[in-house]
Chains A and B, each alone.
Chain A
Amino acid sequence: MRQAPLVVSFRPHSHSKADVTTMYLNTILALMPAAAIGVSHYGLHALRVILLSMGSAMVFEIILQRLFRREITVHDGSAAFAGLLFALLLPPSTPFWVILVGAFMSMLVGKHVFGGLGCNPINSVLVGWTVVFLSWPQYVNFDFSLLNYDPGFSTLYPLSVLKKEGAAGIGQFAIKDLLLGNQAGGIGAASALCIVAGGTYLVLRGFASWIVPASFLIGIALCSQLFHSVDPARYAGPLFHILAGNALLGAFFLAPDYASSPGNPPGRFFYGLGAGVFAMLLRVWSSNIDGVIFAIMIMNIAAPLLEMVLSKPRQFEKVQQI
């Protein structure tokens, strides 16, 4: 048999077999428990939002990549992941056209105008969410949108109760309920345990860094503890702030977004810390009920700066080889 010519290529001649698709599929897998809790609370309504959002994000990705004459890479799972994450931030009652607009915006403005996967300066999901939030606040407001549901627990949104009544009002939300997912809010943001489990899986498998979630939660804890010790009647403690609203979803899935967060470990630490602190400041002082998303977007913009400072390459000394 005649031998085929040998392949010549640059080193290394071995690879860890990591690839983009595996990473995104695992991230989607890690979000499944949180999504399942949402579906168990709100039934088909939640499922409708999730499927619509994932499907439309994927279709929009194909359309936009055609339009921009790029290679179609919908199979890498990043669009499906973005759609899923977007759905988990929404209430189950969101009308279909709001979902479509949000998914389209996160794909177009969030991702493809900047050049596609990895080139976006701001988390694309959050761009879509912000467009929807600023244009049709009534649909993503958890005070009204959950009134028609009876998931078996209070449909009051813990964070807006906190904002209106101060720390005195939050006695009705037991920590156990917040952990297990018996709280009003986005489809996937309810159960602290499920989100932490998913996030831990990603960190252990090496698909996400532990630094951003850890420093994000440290930021929230420190800042809320500060407020809490100044006036315990007005400000809730760290545990409530971490478990309620989008804080954990932000820590494990929104803030560590690959493209929009710094890549170097010290930069990551300050990025997470800053996002946590900003989230608390927005929760306490702004008219926004949950500041997590805007805080992450602010730190996304600061990410290139953080990437530049605070990391010194190692200098190796010269070694003479005999």
Chain B
Amino acid sequence: MGIRSFFGIVPFRVRHGQELPYLDMRDAVPESPVKLTAGFLQEKPTELREKLQTFGFGLGAVPSDADTVIVSACDTDPAVTIQQHVFSLYPDTVARGLSLLQHIIQPKKIVLAIFPCQRKRAVSLAADLAEVAVIAPVYPNGFPQMLASMVKRLRSGVGTSMYVNAERLVAMTNAVETGAAPTTKLVSLSGSGFPQRKNVCVRVGQSVQSVLDSQSVDMAVVRKVVCGGLLTGSAIYQPAAIQVTSQTDGIAAQTEKELVRYESVPCFNCGKCTAVCPARLKVNHLARYAEYSRFDTCREYAIDSCIGCGLCSYVCPAHRPLLQLISFASDELKKGEAAV
């Protein structure tokens, strides 16, 4: 138990390290990216956007007032380190990506959000293309909404924001330069089912089971397989039938001792969830109203502000399934809206 979690000061830090020492770099390096100069600057922005759209990047409706693009090398889950990893593997591609963004979106400002350990690399690479924002490596600071509001606080006058993470920016740049759609994905492996924590590069479309097998995971002891991060991912039932997609940031194989059990027990009002909620919601009340199906009251309690980080469930000493209740209520509210 680290001294910080012992004293309960910072509930959960996103793992990051100087040079990410526990990652096996050899497995992680995908086929080497083609070295190109930024030739795309000669092409028309609209054509480039359309081209990227066909590769599956969300560039169809660029808001006309887009004045900040946040490029993030901050990971969005404590068990995931891929953004930091990509950023340290391909700094040149990220730099070319910055000029690509400038070219096709023409925002007023590009902000490069990084964790403190990447500061040197980021500053030298951003040069005059982007401003660097150093983000504290604390969950859920890597969330796009959190980054947007933190960047806003750093610099006044920032309007509509767009967000792209380092991995996607690299894929985008490669797609423009080589004309090939992205086919690989970096995945963080965690959980004691894996012999060792590391990031691996897998093909998009490969089954989760094949990733588990390639690491010689003993399926007899694995009790839960999670696609995505530990706080944000979803548990899957048939790893053989689920494919790795471009959203699969992590795969966790948990054994018996790591299973979390939530119970339908009453809240004893300790206030930990309210203290930890980044949206400053009254989570205990919200979850109670959700539990008793009073969804309209949930709306009064600003259920829409929840960013789904799951910290409330993470800290609750009574093991209440807070995020599940809140998600249930917001789904019901959405259903109600759709019906009208």
Binding site for B on A (CB under 8 A): 1, 3-16, 18-20, 22-23, 78, 115-119, 204-207, 209, 258-259, 261-265, 268, 307, 311-322
Contacts and interface: CB of A to CB of B under 8 A. Distances in A.
A312 B274 CA distance: 12
Interface residues of B, number: 86
B260 A12 contact: yes
B163 A263 contact: no
B270 A258 contact: yes
Nearest to B234: A11
Contact of A10 (B70, B145, B301, B327): B327
A10 B321 contact: yes
B23 interface: no
Interface of B: 5-9, 11-12, 57-59, 61, 63, 66, 69-70, 78-79, 144-149, 152, 160-164, 168, 172, 219-220, 222-226, 230-239, 252, 254, 258-260, 262, 266-272, 274-275, 278-282, 284-285, 301-302, 305, 307, 310, 313-319, 321, 323-324, 327
B280 A311 contact: yes
A245 to B, nearest CB: 27
B145 A319 contact: yes
A315 B270 CA distance: 24
Instruction: Say whether chain A's binding surface is mostly helix, strand, loop, or mixed.
Output: loop
B323 A119 contact: no
B314 A12 contact: yes
Contacts of B266: 115-119
A286 B32 CA distance: 81
Contacts of B70: 319
Contacts of B172: 322
B190 to A, nearest CB: 10
Contacts of B317: 18-20, 22-23
Nearest to A315: B305
B268 A11 contact: no
A268 B262 CA distance: 28
Contacts of A3: 219-220
Contacts of A314: 149, 278-280, 305
B280 to A, nearest CB: 5
29 contacts: A3-B219, A6-B222, A6-B235, A8-B235, A10-B327, A11-B233, A12-B231, A12-B260, A12-B323, A13-B231, A14-B258, A18-B315, A18-B317, A20-B318, A23-B270, A117-B266, A119-B266, A259-B268, A263-B282, A313-B280, A314-B278, A314-B280, A316-B146, A316-B279, A317-B152, A317-B161, A319-B144, A319-B148, A322-B164
